[in-house]
A = this chain, B = another copy of it.
Amino acid sequence: MSLGTVAVVGGGVIGQSVAWRAATAGHRVSLVDPAPGSGASRVAGGMLAPLSEAWPGEEDLLDLGRAALAHWPRFAARLTAATGGDPGLRTEGTVLVGLDSADRAELDRLAEHLAGLGHAPEKLTGRQVRALEPGIGPEVRSGLLLAEDLSVDNRAVLAELAEAGRRAGVEAVAGRAVAVRGNRIRLADGSTVDADVVVLACGAWSAGLHPSLHAVRPVKGEVLRLRARPSALPPPQRTVRALVQGRPSYLVPRAGGGLVLGATQYEAGHDTEVTVAGVRDLLRDAERVLPGIAEYALVECAAGLRPGTPDNLPLIGWLEPGLVVATGHHRNGFLLAPITAEAVLALLDDRPPPAPVLAADPHRLALTREPLSGVSR
């Protein structure tokens, strides 16, 4: 079966997931990116954590995230079947912890919110937290166990997606897109790429490519990569998300003693430099949660630009004839990649996407329906 041609712009986890799935469904797919897998997806922590990030008023996002999480086991199995590799899906769950009483109150609010939605998490004392994860330090006084929230190894997923895409016949186009209109992509060298359908998946760079996407803004996140040295305590089994006197922090374990550490977010434009203050704060807060990391090797400091939207929901759907968008996934690119790929496949086939994706209709934002004239970008 040969269907139409699809050109995906952007080789992050969203673009690569869409390209691979579309190619296996019979489309002729090209992927336009000068350096696939080198942007925010490479820096990401890889948390699949819809419950941990649930927030009153964002029920649509929670529904989308939970539906997305349910897609992951099959997506991971398909990847492994396609490549023989392992995307590093960890099923040990997530423990949220807090230090002071205000942190505990914040965890209690989250627990109450989730209980109202039918997902009551287990509340833990500091002692119970340490019984689960012995490396957690004495300053931690409270916790919640969220067995549903998982993680993947973001770099393993990117490597598997690249390999799976190659095997499925995805054609790599190493150009940098500078504009997308309908089903035509203009590249920096002045050439164009045309396809039956273009899928725009450029994350934090989307606003510069199409005027209706100007509400997508870059949100900088600094992430450190550590590795347990032979003399140090091993990393936790679960993802540990902490409130350290109000400041969020996360520590995501990897196979082989790796630990990914993040939290800082800045609205700072297209700036991917890591700052002294960012690293200092990340290390300080993380050491209060897991004191043993003092003896870990600091392997890498990096920053990525997540694509934020005004309501924190992504933009997934037809933007105009010939153009599907799949962007604005903010901190949830890995979580949402499988369901986004399924949704885009459905749109390409004139089928309805999974119901929770409807809330991500790109036309929901008034500004994208009627772009302000003269908006500067």
List the interface of chain A (C-beta within 8 A of B).
226, 229, 273-280, 283-284, 287, 293-298, 301
Q: B273, B276, B287, B293: which contacts A287 (Cβ < 8 A)? A: B276
Q: How far is the CA of A341 from the CA of B54 in the complex (A)?
A: 66
Q: Do the beta carbons of A276 and B294 come within 8 Å of each other?
A: yes
Would you give the shortest CB distance from A83 to chain B, in whole angstroms?
31
Q: B276, B294, B297: which contacts A298 (Cβ < 8 A)? A: B276
Q: B275, B278, B295, B298: which contacts A279 (Cβ < 8 A)? A: B298
Q: Which residues of B contact A301 (CB under 8 A)?
A: 298, 301
Q: Do the beta carbons of B276 and A296 come within 8 Å of each other?
A: yes
Q: How far is the CA of A114 from the CA of B226 in the complex (A)?
A: 43
Q: How far is the CA of A296 from the CA of B294 in the complex (A)?
A: 23
Provide the main secondary structure of the chain A interface: helix
Q: Do the beta carbons of A229 and B273 come within 8 Å of each other?
A: yes
Q: Do the beta carbons of B279 and A294 come within 8 Å of each other?
A: no
Of the candidates A274, A276, A279, A297, the one having the most CB atoms from chain B within 10 angstroms of its own CB is A276
Q: Which residues of B contact A279 (CB under 8 A)?
A: 279, 283, 298
Q: B229, B276, B284: which contacts A226 (Cβ < 8 A)? A: B276
Q: Which residues of B contact A297 (CB under 8 A)?
A: 273-276
Q: How far is the CA of A269 from the CA of B275 in the complex (A)?
A: 30
Q: Which residues of B contact A287 (CB under 8 A)?
A: 276, 280
Would you give the shortest CB distance from A129 to chain B, in whole angstroms?
21
Q: B276, B284, B294: which contacts A295 (Cβ < 8 A)? A: B276
Across the A-B interface, the 7 shortest Cβ-Cβ residue pairs: A277-B294, A273-B297, A280-B283, A274-B298, A276-B296, A276-B293, A276-B294
Would you give the shortest CB distance from A291 to chain B, in whole angstroms?
10
Q: Which residues of B contact A274 (CB under 8 A)?
A: 297-298
Complex A-B: 18 CB contacts under 8 Å: A229-B275, A275-B297, A275-B298, A276-B283, A276-B287, A276-B293, A276-B294, A276-B295, A276-B296, A277-B294, A278-B298, A279-B283, A280-B280, A280-B284, A280-B294, A283-B283, A298-B301, A301-B301
Would you give the shortest CB distance from A149 to chain B, in whole angstroms?
25
Given contacts A279-B298, A301-B301, 13 further A-B contacts (CB under 8 A): A226-B276, A229-B273, A273-B297, A274-B298, A275-B294, A275-B295, A275-B296, A276-B294, A276-B296, A276-B298, A278-B298, A280-B283, A280-B294
Q: Which residues of B contact A273 (CB under 8 A)?
A: 229, 297
Q: How far is the CA of A229 from the CA of B277 in the complex (A)?
A: 12
Q: How far is the CA of A198 from the CA of B229 in the complex (A)?
A: 38
Would you give the shortest CB distance from A223 to chain B, in whole angstroms?
13
Q: Which residues of B contact A295 (CB under 8 A)?
A: 275-277
Q: How far is the CA of A186 from the CA of B140 in the complex (A)?
A: 56
Q: How far is the CA of A39 from the CA of B176 in the complex (A)?
A: 37
Would you give the shortest CB distance from A322 to chain B, in whole angstroms?
41
Would you give the shortest CB distance from A121 to chain B, in whole angstroms?
30
Q: Which residues of B contact A226 (CB under 8 A)?
A: 276
Q: How far is the CA of A280 from the CA of B284 in the complex (A)?
A: 8
Q: How far is the CA of A280 from the CA of B224 in the complex (A)?
A: 13
Minimum CB distance partner of A272 in chain B: B297
Q: How far is the CA of A273 from the CA of B278 in the complex (A)?
A: 21
Minimum CB distance partner of A277 in chain B: B294
